[in-house]
Chain A
Amino acid sequence: MNNEHLSDEQIMEILDDRSRSGIPFLPWHLRTCCRCAERYRAFQRLYEGLAADPGFDLPPAFVDALLDRIPEIHSAPTRKRSLGLALGGGAGALAVLGLMALADWRPTAAATLEVLRTLGRILGPLPDRILDFLAHLNGGAEPFLLGGAALLGAALLDRLLRRRFPQPQR
């Protein structure tokens, strides 16, 4: 058992720990020494006073005046973004037009067309092949289609619920 009296700093450390961590630790000395217990109680009262609402408040019109200024925050970035997009788009279009005027684009255009034609040849029969496959299954595809639709529905419902009842961010 320690019979040394606690310093003010030690008492404040105990109270700080208790108010932050909630650990109800009290040194044995504090339980047995009336002098330290009295100082502890005085600090405890001081802490309670410091944590109490000091009673400062703003006029009732404060909230409305502030809410009137809030659109400034939300519209300003949107306006900035729109302006940025318009300027960027315009600059991009001008650059493309300039390049087209200066360079000969015919070989590039021909090559692009060839690539597109090749893709068309590959992907063209794909829908027919899928239909053939489904016909081949002879009704066995229904569970897959129903399952897919159910998953899609669940995802949509989840998105709707998240919008309506947002989760707190941790």
Chain B
Amino acid sequence: MEEIPSCPEPSSEADASGLLVARVQNGDRRAFREFIEKYRRLVAAIVFRMVRDAPDREELCQEVFLKIFSHIGRFQGGAAVSSWIGRIAANTCINHLRKKRLPLYDDLAAGGPGLENVAGDGPDPGRLSEEADLSASLQREIERLPPHHRLVLTLFHFSGMNYEEIGQTLKMPAGTVKSHLFRARTRLRWRLQPALREET
């Protein structure tokens, strides 16, 4: 059976990240550039997933990095750098959505729609089997998920945060995070079923 990578951030990578953070903490100008280059895609992934308004996205990414740099002196390294950045990016996006009065939990009323309701919600899953590129289909289907599902998926799979860390960020119990993750993945699996099966 095919193996998947076991650890999101190997220790040598963690050491390199810690060293880079220490250089930024010491005010090394070159380290700032390296830091931004290294984590821009992570920040962009979270912001772009959460915010649909294109002009706001770049400004929000800048805001995230400015927050990171203004608080980096207090970073103690207890958590992975990517988790810490993920938390700041997620909170910045949540505040932005609140300010703009955009919904974060747009289908959570009465527990949200059951998975059985999802079937009639999207395109025919059979159509997806015609699409060769699973990755493109996946990205498109993620975009169709509610914002909080997009956020938990990005924080868990791309930022490397665990249930507890995501729960602390979103101020919800770890069990709720797990349930959102399961629900989001089950939706995706259902919608991408033909493509996923095709590739196996």
Contact = CB atoms under 8 A, between A and B. Distances in A.
Contact of B182 (A12, A58, A67): A12
Contacts of A51: 5, 8, 157-158
Interface in B40-88: 40-41, 44-45, 48-49, 58, 61-62, 65-66, 69-70, 75-78
Interface residues of B, number: 62
Chain B at the A interface: SS class: helix
A48 B4 contact: yes
A127 B154 CA distance: 69
Interface of B: 1-8, 15, 17-19, 21-23, 25-27, 29, 32-33, 36-37, 40-41, 44-45, 48-49, 58, 61-62, 65-66, 69-70, 75-78, 134-135, 138-139, 142, 153, 157-158, 162, 178, 181-182, 185-186, 188-189, 192-193, 196-197, 199-200
A50 B141 CA distance: 11
B7 A169 contact: no
Contact of A45 (B36, B181, B199): B199
Given A9-B182, A67-B36, 12 more contacts: A12-B182, A19-B8, A22-B6, A23-B6, A42-B197, A52-B135, A55-B139, A56-B48, A62-B62, A63-B33, A166-B26, A168-B21
